[in-house]
Structure 1
Amino acid sequence: MAAIGNSNLDIFPLALGGNTFGWTSDETSSFEILDAFTAGGGNFIDTADSYSAFADGNSGGESETIIGNWTSARGNRDDVVIATKVSQHPEFKGLAPNNIAAAAEASLKRLQSDHIDVYYAHYDDDKTPLVESLAAFDQLVKDGKVRYVAISNYSADRIREWLSLSEENGFAKPIALQPHYNLVTRADYEAELAPVATDNNLGVFPYFALAAGFLTGKYRTREDLEGQARKRLATGYFTDKGLDVVTALSDIADAHDAEISTVALAWLLEQPSVTAPIASASKIAQLPALLAAPGLKLSADELTRLTDVSGRI
């Protein structure tokens, strides 16, 4: 198990992404995935109030609703740690104080819970003074509706400002950071965000840990992307240098009789600031490879190979 920053939350070192629930996984499939994840030792589920407003026919909140239905059906709310986010739901855009309060209430209702374990600011809102947003998050903590606050998609400077304001005003301090980070997207996180996370003991949960499926090895040509739900997301990773990374992953996976995705997640887990990668599954068959990552020990040579080849991007 891994502790999240300065919190008292202990989690399995792989977070299950809930972005597929209500999008590429219907409720029945989502329940199967959640059941298998917890049966395999997983206990940390990451979602957002906006998931999956991006999908045709959806309006946002679908993922939270499915997770809430699942915890209610299984009676296991206290056995799992649930993170969700605010600022991107079509009805609750931005981080104005009233919006944060209203969005949190809506999320709690969908999750069928009296608390959110980790509540992220999903994206920065430069139209609202940061101190006002932080006061609203702090009030949720004081009211017992949120256990801990966290940050996603903020610049290093804005994270430092958040930390400073928290200290100055006695607000609840963030415990975690959720950045875009994987073997084919390294530079910004490692240069700018990793030092802030390390210096302030923020738990780090990389999203797109498998580069929208690119780092599973199933997209070796652009034709492989045609007709795929993740085509728009995965296309941005598709380069010759990116394919070199997939080749290295494939070689190492073969040596361990493991899946390519397992190796990609295992590399992330070896990065000193990372608490747990976030990975999602649309089908239950994809889950064993994800759950295997914390148990896969890569050699120093294998880590070096992956670091070197991905560093050329």
Structure 2
Amino acid sequence: MTDGPTRGRKGGERTRDTSRPPAPEPLPLPVADAHCHMDIADGEEWYAPEQAIADAAAAGITRIVQVGCDRPGVKWAVEAAERFPTVVAGVAIHPNEAPLLAGKGELDDALAEVDAASAHPRVRAVGETGMDFFRTGEDGRAVQESSFRSHIEIADRHGKALMIHDRDAHADVLRVLADRAPERVVFHCYSGDADMARHCVERGWFLSFAGTVTFKNAEPLREALRVTPLDNVLVETDAPYLTPMPFRGRPNASYLIPLTVRLMAQVKGVAVEELCLALAANTERAFGSW
């Protein structure tokens, strides 16, 4: 695998604090980061995966699902899962990437690469896939849906969890899943309301909550968490994005998950230890053991 990131993000014109937040108090029991992008640098800083994994373990985050969602990212995720025993991979073409590849005549080849990677025993999820109406306009939505359906077929055929990206597209994502859904479905960075959460729970799907659940304006998301049974809950970072409060806007990483877990425990009205046990068990049910 490469030593540096396959993709990066510039901070734009606004000045922002790109220093890493201090490590929080470690969790009392180990949990997993159900969705992370260690291949993506935040600003100019490259956080080496060896360091990211070590820092996470010190905070009680002993397993990581590394998600590759473009062609270089798929390769990186598989190589990371082969290299690091505490890492498994998710592979996909991101919904916003699919129309771009289709425009260059490369989507079929990219999907074939995802299909081939999904046969790897260290790949435990196909995703993130789904639909995104925030960044992709109406002209790209048909391609998004076709790509989404292809990923569903791949996940189903390989017996892997399907990891959903759903941004401003709740009704259409649920419509597609109503036609066909694998046995295990994970809504990455769940963003729906309580009614949608109940719909997902009725079907046995997992809702993975990110740092967004800690944001001050996220009461509808916290209400969705309240109505979701512990058996259906996962936690993730989506690092380097969606850093939990009080460090919103700074680079995220797996070691910051204790901030999200402790807020989730408060919302659910359970002890942190009870939530940790549930998260660990749910991770095994969603992605298998490693």
TM-score by length of 1: 0.49
Q: Aligned partners of 1:35 and 1:159: how far apart in 2?
A: 36
Listed as ranges, the matches of 1:1-313 within 5 Å are 12=31, 14-18=33-37, 21-24=40-43, 29-38=48-57, 40-50=60-70, 61=72, 64=74, 66-74=76-84, 76=85, 79-86=86-93, 87-89=95-97, 93=101, 99=107, 102-103=110-111, 105=113, 113=120, 116-120=123-127, 121-123=129-131, 126-128=141-143, 130=145, 133-134=148-149, 137-139=152-154, 141-142=156-157, 144=158, 147-153=160-166, 155-166=169-180, 172-173=182-183, 175-179=185-189, 181=191, 189-207=192-210, 209=212, 215=215, 242=217, 272=228, 275-279=233-237, 280=239, 287-291=254-258, 293-294=260-261, 297-298=265-266
Q: Aligned partners of 2:205 and 2:183: how far apart in 1?
A: 10
Compare the two structures and name the one with the higher strand fraction.
Answer: 2
SS in 1 for 2:161: strand
Contact 2:164 2:188 in 1 (8 A): yes
Query: Please, what is the CA RMSD of the aligned residues?
Result: 5.0
Work out the percentage of aligned pairs sharing the same amino acid.
Answer: 8
Deviation at 1:201, TM superposition (A): 1.7
Cα 1:103/1:163, change in 2 over 3 Å: closer
Contact 2:197 2:227 in 1 (8 A): no
Deviation at 1:290, TM superposition (A): 1.9
Unaligned 5+ segments in structure 2 are 1-29, 133-139, 242-249, 271-290
Q: Aligned partners of 2:212 and 2:92: how far apart in 1?
A: 18
Contact 1:45 1:83 in 2 (8 A): yes
Q: Aligned partners of 2:266 and 2:144: how far apart in 1?
A: 45
Unaligned 5+ segments in structure 1 are 1-10, 51-59, 182-188, 216-240, 246-264, 303-313
Contact 2:155 2:162 in 1 (8 A): no
Deviation at 1:32, TM superposition (A): 0.8
Q: Aligned partners of 2:171 and 2:162: how far apart in 1?
A: 18
Structure (1 or 2) with the larger CA radius of gyration: 1
Contact 1:163 1:173 in 2 (8 A): no
Paired residues in the alignment total 217
Cα 1:99/1:20, change in 2 over 3 Å: closer
SS in 2 for 1:172: coil
Deviation at 1:66, TM superposition (A): 4.8
Q: Aligned partners of 1:106 and 1:149: how far apart in 2?
A: 13
Amino acid at match of 1:147: K
SS in 2 for 1:43: strand
